């Protein structure tokens, strides 16, 4: 069973989102998620970055919210690592 078949069977309400992202290449979901996470980080007073785990921080500093959900950006960085 392919991934969309699995999602259709287990989570049919998510099919429109998956089709937009993976079949049509839309980034709208990821952009909305980025805005929501950025807003949340600002609300709680924490730093927010996307796809960056290179920060060197002192152990006692507050946590950083890192958004690793931009699929295309993660895929590109994974290709660079190979």
Phi-psi category of residue 45: left, alpha or beta, with phi > 0 → left and psi -120 to 50 → alpha: left
Structural domain boundaries enclosing 52: 3-81
Alpha helix ranges (H) inside the chain: 3-10, 15-18, 28-44, 71-81
For residues 41 and 78, what is the distance between their CA atoms, to the nearest angstrom?
26
Looking at the structure of the chain, the number of domains it has is 1
pTM of the complete model: 0.65
Q: What is the pLDDT of residues 16-75, one digit of tens each?
A: 998 898 889 888 888 898 899 999 999 999 988 877 656 677 788 888 888 877 655 555
pLDDT computed for residue 76 by the predictor: 58
């Amino acid at each position: 069973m392919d991934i969309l078949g699995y999602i259709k069977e287990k989570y049919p309400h998510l099919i429109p989102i998956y089709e937009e992202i993976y079949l049509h290449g839309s980034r709208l979901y990821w952009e909305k998620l980025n805005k929501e996470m950025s807003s949340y980080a600002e609300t709680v007073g924490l730093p927010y970055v996307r796809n960056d785990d290179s920060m060197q921080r002192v152990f006692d500093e507050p946590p950083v919210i890192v958004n690793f959900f931009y699929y295309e950006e993660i895929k590109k960085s994974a290709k660079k690592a190979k």
